[in-house]
Amino acid sequence: MPAFEYKGRDSEGQSVNGELEAPNHAAAMSQLQLKKIILTSLAEKTIESKGIEFSFALKKKITLDDQVLLTRQLYALTKAGIPIIRALNGLAESSDNTRLAEVLNAIADSLVSGSELATAFRQFPKIFSPIFVSMIHVGENTGRLDLAFQKLTAHLELERETKKRIKSATRYPMFVMSAMFLAITVINILVIPSFSSVFEKLGADLPITTRILVASSEFTINYWWVMLIVVIGSVVAWRRYVKTPEGLLWWDTKKLNLPLFGSLFKRIALSRFSRSFAMMLSSGVPILKGLSIVAESVGNKSIGTAIEDMYRGVERGERLTSTAAATGLFTPLVLQMMSVGEETGSIDTLLNDVADFYEEEIDYELKQLADSIEPILLVFLGILVLILALGVFLPIWELSGAMGVK
């Protein structure tokens, strides 16, 4: 019997996850509904061999661009009145992405077997977020799938634009850092050993800077494999640690406190929360369910935990603005905007305004980040050049001076 992995919330609002056995997705959902668990994700657990994993690794991944194109096409097709199964099969045939085609065919097969569209999409939690699935569920229940896909397209396009802006702002610093690392490696392996052999033949008394550079070069040449093992081992251990709930929470909390980057990460997460929550509310999703879904999709476990605290506060009967203020995440200006929206019954509109406010702050911070990183890199590069110059040329100057005296 197939096994299913699930995540959700119990009747008390606590996060729950686990596994269960059921004949199919519908039966698994029925079992969980009897336990009064509100699902955020449900997927069949598969045991894959290394060969299968390798074959999937060779396939093209489903990117954010693919999802934007998919939702845009589904919006156009559903608006034109084309049946959803026919639309999915047609998109699978015309897709250049083999992985996406397989997913669309699997979703269409699930629909043919009687599953709901949201349930069919929920089979792929690593591709389609809880927000994505919930919007489809709302569109299915209201008979406005076209509107759901339209909102998803706008939502995903904003996500894509934010990522593009971040990549654009960090491209130059990453290029400079990569060039510096390459230069240090070449100097350590090729340049310093040549000078070291010359100094050794001349029997020069080397200054401390030169001795450190020579020792660093010898260690790199003789023990490069040790350094490689340490680096690979550290990366693997780090990736495994941040995949654990405790490790992810610790790292996401630290990210919010990083110099230069911390406030940017925080504003991006809060912008995503505001925009996603506004979309949920405007589509008719209840506040509690909307908070539950957004907490899983905000992109930062620390802020997600704070949103879970908001969920529990609203569940106790507190105002949304009061619970938001208790988290300490939002500025007084944002809280005032949320309070006005709550009082006037237009909280979704005001949350969109909050998201726009954060988007403007993100743009400003990205510009400030570029202006701040560049001088830091130049100073670091200057110090590196100074150390190399002193280490390599200082002995030469001393030898030239000694030969001139003689």
- Give the count of domains, the chain: 2
pLDDT given at position 2: 63
Residues 27 and 165 both lie in one domain: no
**What is the domain-level CATH number for residue 392?**
1.20.81.30
Per-residue pLDDT tens for 118-167? 888 988 888 888 888 888 888 888 788 888 899 889 888 988 888 888 88
Domain stop point among 28, 58, 88: 58
Long-range contacts of 326-335 (CB under 8 A, 24+ apart): 329/266, 329/270, 329/303, 330/270, 333/357
Residue 360 is assigned to a structural domain of this protein: yes
Can you give the residue range of the structural domain that contains 14?
1-58
Identify the domain boundary among 58, 81, 102.
58
In a domain, 94, yes or no: no
Q: Are residues 348 and 226 in the same domain?
A: yes
DSSP states along 159-180 = HHHHHHHHHHHHHHHHHHHHHH
Q: Is the pLDDT of residue 215 over 70?
A: yes
Torsion, CA 123, CA 126, CA 128, CA 131, rounded to 10: 110
User: What confidence tens digit (pLDDT) does each residue in 290-307 have?
Assistant: 888 888 878 888 898 999
The reply to whether 64 falls in a domain is no
Within a domain: 101? no
Assess if residue 25 is contained within a domain. Answer: yes
Segment 255-285, tens digit of pLDDT: 888 887 888 888 888 888 888 888 888 888 8
With respect to residue 78, please indicate whether it lies within any of the assigned structural domains.
no
Domain contains 128: no
Could you say which DSSP state residue 316 is in? T
- Asked which of 39, 58, 77 is the last residue of a domain, the reply is 58
pLDDT beyond 80 at 195: no
For residue 18, the domain's CATH number is 3.10.20
| 4 — pLDDT class (breaks 50, 70, 90) | confident
How many Å apart are CA 104 and CA 127, to the nearest integer?
12
